[in-house]
């Protein structure tokens, strides 16, 4: 019996075992050698992955609240095998997550990395999250790599750690945007070693990531670091994406944490010693009573800096947009057709009769706080004209929720995006493409709703389990193909195909084309009229 057992054991040990060995690949960057690994896309195409690449020094200790510092070189081979760590933020559980040492990027590309042969177009994704949450790894690489494009996902400091401003040279602000710029500098230095073309870099992002993309279009600090820009559901001139009151908010929040100092130096010293977890908790304490009226508020945002060496932005974004003083590049942008749909559905701030009654009775104060006019008097007057335009002066009821959703979508998103489109078309000789995403399917926030809500577009773009023959799978294929075509050819539809069934024409002032992304694709004109004419007459 013992002999039989021994024979069985030997037989098992000698049987061939299928072991999937990891295939590693190395690349020499300016900072040092990186070791990544080979993988494949969902369709089986070979794909290389380098994850967790540091593009700046850890912004901790004396570097907290300071501009990013280029990562020092290392010796030997550094593993780039694990995806980036998220930056400090508040988790849905109510506890902080992530860490301050978070300035990393992930990089994915087709085949094996090589600087020999034709260099590939590069797309750099900037994640959204109201400048307080999110991570670069939310963008999935498979469909971009299938289209022969290199995808780079980046992190940047969030919340007060990324967007503190003392209103002076001590901490002028916009550190999170400067992190993004530092990542783009890394791409310029190193992407050719991975087979990417530094002259064909497209930046793209959604929500706060879309606003960030637009900020790079506006910033002299980012000039020359990218060729094309795609801003999805976000513009720098959206009220939620820019604040003049950043220094006041910093002081107010610090006092909530126990601060008793008197000047910027005291404030900085206090915040530098605070636990990172405390800096992302209960951040609504930074708001004034008046600011708390807003129905959509990103508390820590970009701001205009005092003039300083290395400033990212020193003027209000709408001034630059109105005057055409920015980086004139091929530009694509758009919105979902009902960005604020969640607000008027169950659980939203404008769903119950009580909520809508309060909105009606205090409309001028609630709406006025988010209107970018210089005085409170002008804001209240503008709010009254908005109510007259959208509701014909009538009282607002729950039955008006479709109109209310349109109003909230237009004032929080579309007006700023539309202004960017019109300005770029007016001042730039480069192509401008405008879209509206209105597809509603099984992955939509409201699958049986009246339109596409905020984030619905990226849900389809970055899903990994859609049936390619389903309506949802076709929308995904159309969007990822058009986005990568724009990166490669400056044109999202260089030719019609079985997937791209409509030619997306450029927007210009005489022919204001836009593409409605739905089933099927449809080319139309005069998006959101007559609403946008009203808004552009109302606001600077």
How far CA 322 is from CA of 81, 122, 138, 229, 422, in Å, comes to 45, 30, 33, 19, 9
Q: Is the pLDDT of residue 6 over 60?
A: no
**Residue 187 C-beta-side C-alpha neighbours within 13 Å:** 35
53-56 CB contacts, 8 Å cutoff, 24+ apart: 53/29, 53/80, 53/104, 53/105, 53/106, 53/107, 53/186, 54/103, 54/104, 55/103, 55/104, 55/105, 55/154, 55/182, 55/183, 55/185, 55/186, 56/103, 56/179, 56/182, 56/183
406-436 pLDDT tens trace = 999 999 999 999 999 999 999 999 999 999 9
- So what's the pLDDT on residue 11? 42
Q: Is the pLDDT of residue 8 over 50?
A: no
**Which are the contacts of 255, defined by CB distance < 8 A and separation ≥ 6?**
none
Across residues 174-187, what is the average pLDDT?
A: 98
Both structure tokens of 361: 């009775």
- Distance of alpha carbon 512 from alpha carbon 517, whole angstroms: 16
- So what's the pLDDT on residue 7? 37
The torsion region of residue 526 among left (phi > 0), alpha (psi -120 to 50) and beta comes to left
- Distance of alpha carbon 106 from alpha carbon 137, whole angstroms: 7
- Distance of alpha carbon 537 from alpha carbon 158, whole angstroms: 34
Does residue 58 contact residue 84 with C-beta atoms inside 8 Å?
no
Chain mean pLDDT for the chain: 94
pLDDT band at 1 (very low <50, low <70, confident <90, very high): very low
- Distance of alpha carbon 481 from alpha carbon 144, whole angstroms: 8
H or E segment at 509? none
Q: Is residue 207 annotated as part of the catalytic site, yes or no?
A: yes
- So what's the pLDDT on residue 393? 87
Question: Both ends of the chain: CA-CA distance in Å?
Answer: 92
373-386 pLDDT tens trace = 999 999 999 999 99
- So what's the pLDDT on residue 20? 57
Choice among 96, 165, 207, 219 that is catalytic? 207
From the list 317, 333, 134, the residue with the least C-alpha distance to 229 is 333
Q: Where is average pLDDT lowest: 3-7, 140-144, 193-197, 267-271?
A: 3-7
Answer with the residue of higher pLDDT: 6 or 173: 173
For every residue of 329-374, DSSP letters joined together read --EEEEEETTTTGGGGSTTSTT-SHHHHHHHHHTHHHHHHTTS--S
pLDDT band at 226 (very low <50, low <70, confident <90, very high): very high
**Phi, psi of 369, rounded to the nearest 5 degrees:** -65, -20
- Distance of alpha carbon 244 from alpha carbon 224, whole angstroms: 28
Domains and CATH numbers, the chain: 24-329 (3.40.50.1820), 341-492+500-538 (3.40.50.1820)
User: How many residues would you count in the chain?
Assistant: 540
3-class DSSP state of 411: helix
Q: What does the DSSP 8-state code read for residue 64?
A: T
Q: Is the pLDDT of residue 31 over 70?
A: yes
From the list 524, 482, 499, the residue with the least C-alpha distance to 230 is 482
Neighbours of 538 (CB within 10 A): 16
Percent of the residues in the chain that have a pLDDT greater than 90, as a whole number: 93
Across residues 448-457, what is the average pLDDT?
A: 97
Across residues 294-318, what is the average pLDDT?
A: 96
Rg (CA), the chain: 25
From the list 84, 86, 24, 89, the residue with the least C-alpha distance to 55 is 84
336-377 pLDDT tens trace = 999 999 999 999 999 999 999 999 999 999 999 999 999 999
Q: Is the pLDDT of residue 98 over 60?
A: yes
Across residues 481-491, what is the average pLDDT?
A: 98
Does residue 51 contact residue 83 with C-beta atoms inside 8 Å?
yes
Q: Is the pLDDT of residue 134 over 70?
A: yes
Q: What does the DSSP 8-state code read for residue 512?
A: B
- Distance of alpha carbon 78 from alpha carbon 80, whole angstroms: 6
Q: Is the pLDDT of residue 40 over 90?
A: yes
Answer with the residue of higher pLDDT: 116 or 292: 292
Q: Is the pLDDT of residue 14 over 70?
A: no
Cα 238 to chain centroid, rounded: 13
């Amino acid at each position: 019996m013992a002999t039989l057992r021994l024979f069985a054991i030997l037989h098992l040990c000698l049987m061939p075992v299928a072991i999937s060995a990891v295939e590693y690949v190395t690349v020499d960057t300016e900072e040092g050698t990186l070791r990544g690994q080979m993988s494949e896309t969902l369709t089986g195409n070979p794909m290389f992955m380098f994850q967790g690449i540091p593009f700046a020094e850890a912004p901790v200790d004396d570097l907290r609240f300071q501009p990013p510092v280029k990562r020092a070189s290392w010796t030997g081979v550094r593993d780039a095998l694990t995806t980036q760590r998220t930056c400090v933020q508040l988790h849905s559980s109510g506890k902080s997550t992530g860490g301050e040492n978070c300035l990393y990027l992930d990089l994915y590309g087709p085949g094996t990395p090589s600087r020999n042969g034709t260099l590939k177009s590069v797309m750099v994704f900037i994640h959204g999250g109201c400048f307080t949450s999110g991570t670069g790894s939310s963008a999935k690489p498979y469909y971009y790599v299938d289209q022969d494009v290199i995808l780079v996902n980046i992190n940047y400091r969030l919340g007060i750690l990324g967007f503190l401003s003392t209103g002076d040279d001590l901490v002028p602000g916009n550190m999170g945007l400067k992190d993004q710029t530092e990542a783009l500098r890394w791409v310029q230095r190193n992407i050719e070693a991975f087979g990417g073309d530094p002259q064909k870099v497209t930046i793209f992002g959604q929500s706060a990531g879309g606003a960030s993309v637009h900020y790079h279009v506006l910033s002299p600090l980012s000039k020359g670091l990218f060729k094309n820009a795609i801003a999805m559901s976000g513009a720098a001139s959206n009220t939620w994406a820019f604040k003049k009151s950043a220094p006041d908010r910093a002081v107010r929040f610090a006092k909530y944490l126990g601060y008793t100092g008197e000047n910027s130096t005291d404030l900085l010293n206090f915040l530098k010693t605070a636990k990172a977890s405390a800096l992302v908790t209960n951040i609504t304490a930074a708001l004034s009573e008046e600011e708390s009226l807003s129905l959509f508020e990103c508390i820590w945002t970009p701001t205009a800096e005092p003039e300083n060496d290395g400033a990212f932005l020193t003027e209000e974004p709408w001034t630059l947009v109105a005057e055409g003083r920015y980086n004139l590049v091929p530009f694509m942008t758009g919105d979902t057709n009902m960005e604020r749909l969640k607000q008027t559905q169950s659980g939203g701030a404008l769903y119950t009769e009580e909520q809508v009654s309060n909105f009606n009775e205090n409309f001028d104060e609630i709406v006025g706080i988010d209107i970018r006019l210089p005085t409170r008097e002008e804001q209240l007057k503008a709010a009254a004209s908005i109510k007259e335009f959208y509701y014909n002066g009538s009282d607002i009821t729950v039955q008006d929720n479709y109109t209310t959703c349109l109003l909230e979508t237009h004032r929080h998103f579309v007006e700023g995006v539309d202004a960017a489109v019109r300005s770029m078309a007016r001042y730039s000789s480069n192509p401008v493409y405008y879209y509206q995403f209105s597809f509603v399917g099984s992955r939509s926030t409201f699958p049986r709703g009246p339109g596409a809500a905020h984030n619905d577009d990226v849900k389809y773009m970055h899903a990994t389990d859609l049936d390619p023959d389903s309506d949802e799978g076709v929308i995904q294929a159309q969007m990822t193909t058009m986005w990568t075509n724009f990166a490669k050819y400056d044109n999202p539809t260089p030719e019609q195909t079985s997937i791209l069934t409509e030619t997306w024409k450029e927007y210009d002032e005489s022919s204001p084309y836009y593409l409605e992304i739905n089933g099927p694709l449809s080319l139309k004109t005069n998006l959101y009229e007559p609403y946008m004419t009203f808004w552009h007459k109302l606001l600077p």
